[in-house]
């Protein structure tokens, strides 16, 4: 008899290691073939075409609903950021020339109490 006892964890690790080795060899053989490269190229072209078509269709639907597209919103956002920067620069330039006046004092509208004639 053998002195070594069955260890299920070691057996599982060995099975996984063999499976991984076989899978790596098999995938290497497949990916190195010309047919695989051609198939991946066709799949990539189809994906790019589908994305382009989807973008065009989305753009057409948004245009028919009179809604802006993402690119139009991005463009407006950039333009708005530039306008905000210019406004900040103008505020600084105007603030340097004309210092802000101090806040006016509140008007006194309360009148003193009238004295009554008589016994005090």
* 17 and 59 belong to one structural domain: yes
Residue 36 lies in a domain: yes
Given a cut of 90, whether residue 113 has pLDDT beyond it is no
Mean pLDDT for the chain?
88
Given a cut of 80, whether residue 16 has pLDDT beyond it is yes
Torsion, Cα of 1, 3, 5, 17 (10° steps): -100
Residue 109 lies in a domain: no
Residue 49 lies in a domain: yes
Q: How confident is the model at residue 2 (pLDDT cuts 50, 70, 90)?
A: low
* 18 and 61 belong to one structural domain: yes
CA distances from 40 to 6, 28, 32, 52, 70 (A): 45, 15, 12, 18, 30
Residue predicted with more confidence, 50 or 104: 50
Structural domains counted in the chain = 2
Q: Are 93 and 85 in contact (CB under 8 A)?
A: no
Residue 112 lies in a domain: no
Given a cut of 90, whether residue 108 has pLDDT beyond it is no
Q: According to the model, what pLDDT value does residue 61 have?
A: 95
* 59 and 13 belong to one structural domain: yes
Q: How confident is the model at residue 24 (pLDDT cuts 50, 70, 90)?
A: very high
Given a cut of 80, whether residue 27 has pLDDT beyond it is yes
Q: According to the model, what pLDDT value does residue 77 have?
A: 97
């Amino acid at each position: 008899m053998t002195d070594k006892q069955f260890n299920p964890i070691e057996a599982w690790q060995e099975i996984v290691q063999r499976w991984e080795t076989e899978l790596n060899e098999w995938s290497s053989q497949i990916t190195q073939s010309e047919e695989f490269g051609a198939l991946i190229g066709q799949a990539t072209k189809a994906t790019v075409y589908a994305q382009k078509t989807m973008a065009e269709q989305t753009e057409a639907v948004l245009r028919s609903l009179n809604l802006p597209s993402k690119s139009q919103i991005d463009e407006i956002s950039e333009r708005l950021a530039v306008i905000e920067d210019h406004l900040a620069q103008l505020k600084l330039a105007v603030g340097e020339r004309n210092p802000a006046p101090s806040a006016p004092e509140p008007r006194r509208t309360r009148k003193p109490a009238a004295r009554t004639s008589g016994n005090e």
